[in-house]
Chains A and B, each alone.
Chain A
Amino acid sequence: MNVISNTGTVFAREIVPSLRNPLGLAFTMTQPLIFLLLFGPLLSGTPGVGEGSPWQWFVPGILVMLALFGTGGAGYLLLIEMASGSLERMLVTPLSRTAMMIGRNLKEVVTLLAQAVLIVVALLPFGFRLHPLGALTGLLILAVFGLGLGGLTFALAIAAKRREELFYGVQQVVLFPLLLLSGVLMPMDAAPSWLSVLSQANPVTYIVEAERALFAGDLFSEAVPYGVIAAAATAVVGLALGSRAMRRATL
Chain B
Amino acid sequence: MIRTRGLTRHFRVKGETVEAVRGLDIDVQEGELVAFLGPNGAGKSTSLRMLTTLLPPTSGSATVAGCDVLADPAGTRRNIGYLGQGNGAGNHFRVRDEVVTQGRCYGLSRAESRKRADELLAVLDLESLAGRQAGTLSGGQRRRLDIAIGLVHRPRLLFLDEPSTGLDPHNRANLWKHILRLREEHGITIFMTTHYLDEADTMAERVMVIDHGRMIADDIPENLKANLAGDGVTVTTADEADAGRSAEIAGRMPSAREVTVDAMTMSLRAPRGNALLPDLLRSLDAAGVRVLTAEVRRPTLDDVFLALTGRSLREGEGDR
Chain B residue with minimal CB distance to A90? B105
CA of A90 to CA of B52, assembled, Å: 12
Given that A13-B97, A16-B97, A94-B74 are contacting pairs, would A89 and B104 also be in contact in the complex, using a CB cutoff of 8 Å? no
Chain A residue with minimal CB distance to B77? A94
CA of A118 to CA of B93, assembled, Å: 25
Chain B CB within 8 A of A1 CB: yes
Which chain A positions have C-beta within 8 A of B78? 94
Q: What 7 A-B pairs are tightest by C-beta distance, nearest first?
A: A85-B86, A89-B88, A93-B105, A86-B90, A9-B104, A92-B82, A13-B101
CA of A153 to CA of B183, assembled, Å: 43
Report, as a range, how many residues of chain B touch the other chain: 20 to 34
Which chain A positions have C-beta within 8 A of B84? 85, 88-89, 92
Chain A residue with minimal CB distance to B79? A94
CA of A151 to CA of B147, assembled, Å: 31
Q: Give the total number of A-B pairs whose CB atoms are below 8 A apart.
A: 74
CA of A80 to CA of B49, assembled, Å: 19
Chain B CB within 8 A of A159 CB: no
Chain A residue with minimal CB distance to B97? A16
Which chain A positions have C-beta within 8 A of B253? none
**Would B149 and A85 count as touching, CB distance under 8 A?**
no
Which chain A positions have C-beta within 8 A of B80? 92
B297 CB to nearest chain A CB (Å):
39
Chain B CB within 8 A of A250 CB: yes
Interface digits, B170-198 against A, CB 8 Å rule (1 contact, 0 not)? Answer: 00000000000000000000000000000
Which residues of B in the span 121-175 have a Cβ within 8 Å of any Cβ on A?
A: 146, 149-150
**Would B107 and A17 count as touching, CB distance under 8 A?**
no
Interface digits, B78-101 against A, CB 8 Å rule (1 contact, 0 not)? Answer: 101010111111111110011001
Which chain A positions have C-beta within 8 A of B98? 13
Which chain B positions have C-beta within 8 A of A9? 101, 104-105
Chain B CB within 8 A of A193 CB: no
Chain A residue with minimal CB distance to B101? A13
